[in-house]
Amino acid sequence: MPRFSSRLLIWYRDNERDLPWRGLFRGDPYAVWVSEIMLQQTRVETVIPYFEKWMKQFPNVKALADASEQEVLHVWEGLGYYSRARNLHKAAKIVVEKYNGELPRDLGALRQLPGIGRYTVGAIASMAFGLDEPTLDGNLRRVFARVFDVSQPADSSAGEKILWGLAAAHLPRGRAGDYNQALMDLGAAICLPKNPHCLACPLMKLCKARELGIQEKRPVLKPKKSTPHYVYVAAVIIQRGCVLLA
């Protein structure tokens, strides 16, 4: 096992976060799917009570498929980005109709479901089905960009290709689920966007960005397009009851 993944997994063994989808629901494809969709653009601490409420209301795919959209949106209310809830509902109906209520293990079939992209496919495949598939969220991008000093913008096609390649290259066979979750936890607790806790990081001695002192400059992001500003000048002249605009 490469040094990168072995050090990471040793750290994870003692530092895994206590999260509801890793407890009672560990390895449940439906729970993994729901949690990963909820976690998109939403903080973990915000998601936890919503996940617990959701699983009580809709404990499996069929329960979700049988619910009305109004019921689904009511449980989701307050979490934002409501298209995520609608896509979960649509996908659940498809899974019941086409796959007898079980999420398909075929990655192509998973990718065809509404709201499921490459990242979610990798998460479900590795964490629920035990398949050797990488995944890549914001935390993982940051870890790989720093450890391997990736200078390409992480949000560019070239940068994405490099980062997905690194995620796949260091994936330990048979441990993909733990590997992906360990990277998520490392990014959430240690390899923070600002003021990372480098001295507590199990990958510190492997980190090229830290060696160069540029860890907070990684990942590189494409510059935001500047918003053009225009200055308009107008004059109003009133003389003898006449108005002139210039």
Token pair recorded at residue 57: 């209301």
Q: Are 179 and 173 in contact (CB under 8 A)?
A: no
Q: Which of 199, 195, 197, 193 is nearest to 219 (CA)?
A: 193
The one catalytic residue in 36, 45, 69, 102 is 36
Residue 20 Cα distances to 6, 36, 56, 126, 219, angstroms: 25, 12, 12, 18, 30
Q: Which of 62, 68, 67 is nearest to 94 (CA)?
A: 62
Question: Cα separation of 133 and 127, whole Å?
Answer: 9
Question: Cα separation of 111 and 117, whole Å?
Answer: 6
Q: Which of 138, 137, 139, 124 is nearest to 176 (CA)?
A: 124
Question: Cα separation of 34 and 94, whole Å?
Answer: 15
Q: Is 36 a catalytic residue?
A: yes
Q: Are 15 and 184 in contact (CB under 8 A)?
A: no
Q: Are 132 and 171 in contact (CB under 8 A)?
A: yes
230: Cα within 13 Å, side-chain hemisphere: 2
Question: Cα separation of 96 and 98, whole Å?
Answer: 6
Using CA of residue 61, residue 67, residue 71, residue 73, what is the dihedral sign?
Answer: positive
Catalytic (active-site) positions: 36
